[in-house]
Structure formats: C-alpha cells, structure tokens
Amino acid sequence: MSLPARIKKTLEPGKVHYSLRLLNHERVLEFDNDACVACGLCVHVCPIADDVISMTGDDGEKIIVDIDRCVHCGTCAYFCVSDALTLKIDGEERIELREPAGDIERHSLPDFTGVTLEHKDTGEPVKKYLSGSIKIDPAIGDATLMDGVNACPTGALLIREDGAPGFEERKCFFCDACSIATKGKIAVTRTVLMMDFSEGVPPLIKRILERLMGERAAARILKGNSTKKGMSQTLALMKGKGKES
C-alpha cells in the first residue's frame, strides 16, 4: 500500500522546485535552469521511463519533469553533468537511487572517473563521464550544422575555415544536444562509461547503461567489469595464501 502523498511544483526566478511530501518526510527535486546545459542526458537516466523528463527547447524552462510520475529518487541529479539538478530530503542534499518498484538501492554508488570540461560560454564545469563517437550526415545543410554547433555546450562541434564540420573529441561529453538541434542529422554513439565499478554494478546502473548506450555497449562494459573483478579477487586470494604460507 502506498503512502498518501502531496505533490507540488513551485517556480522562482531561474529555478523550479518539484516537491513530494509523504507522511514522514519531504523530497524536493530542485532544478536550476541557468546551470542546465540542455544536454538531454537526464532524459535517458530516469529509471521510470524516457518521457518523465522532457526537453522543451525553451531557454525559459529547459526541461519539464512529470511530477505525477517522478519518484524523487535523485538518479537524474546524480548523473547531471552541470549540477543543475539536486535532490533534497527534508532539506538535506542526498541521493537515493531507486528501482522503479520503489526499492532503494543499498549498493554504494560508483564514483565517476572521467574529467571536467568547461562550458564554452560561461566557463562553468561540465562533467565528462561518457565517450564514444559521432556521425555527421554528409547531406547536412549549413543552417542545420550551425544549429548543432550553437547547441554544443562545450564547443566540441565546430565549422572549419573551409565550411566543413569539425569535431574535437576531447571537448565532447557525448550528450544529445547536437543531435536534438539537428533533428538527428548528427548521430551520437556512446561506448564508454567512466565510472569505478570495482565494488560491483548495482542493478539500476545496469539498466541505465542500456538506456544511455544500448544493450550491446552496456553488455560489453559489464562483461569487462566482471572480468576485472574476477582477476582482482583471484589476486587477492593469491596474496592471502602467500601470507599464510
């Protein structure tokens, strides 16, 4: 039986508060519109569905959260590259990744092992924890390409002096901004997730991997992690036996 709850959306200049009040505590998902880089990654990492968070294309309110379906788990806040999303439980900033059924993950959260980039306009930090490749449609028009360049938060996509598209991989964190702006004329493929899985991979993270990267890439990462973990355990056992002898 679910507990009675009250939900509320509150607006203030530059920020939106999505509140969920239960009998014994209150959860508030805070969204900082100015900090948002409109990358679209939060749409994919939501454990409920890929339409609980929607991109608006409007600078006034860059994303919309379906407050009737949001479970206030904090997954989007955990993966947000610019800290535009924050989950607070009774006023304290926290993260509790949940299964869609409501069971709280008890595993420790894996740490990001990527790098920090800079926003091309503001200089604010942007986390890079994904890598992969992009493919630009040869038939992309100049105007559409410019839309993609303007949408790129970190300046990874550019137009060269000869008018051809350019790409600087080191500046790209493989979000969806250019793909959204060009209506798919630029395709983004994600193949690497830079996180520390030495303590194992929580089930929820496995599903998020599939949403972010596709089943094949996710399976490859999980298989590689399993192999590394097995080798580490074997080495630990060997060291232990060596000490005993």
Q: What's the CATH code, domain 6-93?
A: 3.30.70.20
**Cross-strand bridge partners of residue 159:** 165
Q: Are 155 and 163 in contact (CB under 8 A)?
A: no
Whether the Cβ atoms of residue 130 and residue 212 lie closer than 8 Å to each other: yes
pLDDT in tens, 68-115: 999 888 889 999 999 999 999 888 887 766 555 544 444 456 788 999
Angle, in degrees to the nearest 10, between helices 203-213 and 215-244: 140
| Region 31-38 average pLDDT | 96
User: Structure pTM?
Assistant: 0.83
The percent of residues in the chain predicted with pLDDT above 70, rounded, is 83
What confidence tier does 116 reach under pLDDT thresholds 50, 70, 90? Answer: very high
* pLDDT, greater one: 18 or 228: 18
Q: 169-217 pLDDT, tens per residue?
A: 999 999 999 999 999 999 999 998 898 887 777 777 788 888 888 888 8
Pairing of strands 186-193, 130-136: antiparallel
Residue 235 confidence (pLDDT): 40
What is the C-alpha separation between 75 and 87, in angstroms, rounded? 9
- Distance separating alpha carbons of residues 145 and 152, to the nearest angstrom: 11
Average pLDDT, integer, range 48-68 = 90
Question: Can you name the CATH fold of 115-193?
Answer: Alpha-Beta Plaits (3.30.70)
CATH 3.30.70.20 in the chain is located at: 6-93, 115-193
C-alpha span between 22 and 66 (Å, rounded): 18
β 85-89/63-65 pair status: unpaired
pLDDT at residue 117 greater than cutoff 90: yes
* Per-residue pLDDT tens over the stretch 203-213: 777 888 888 88
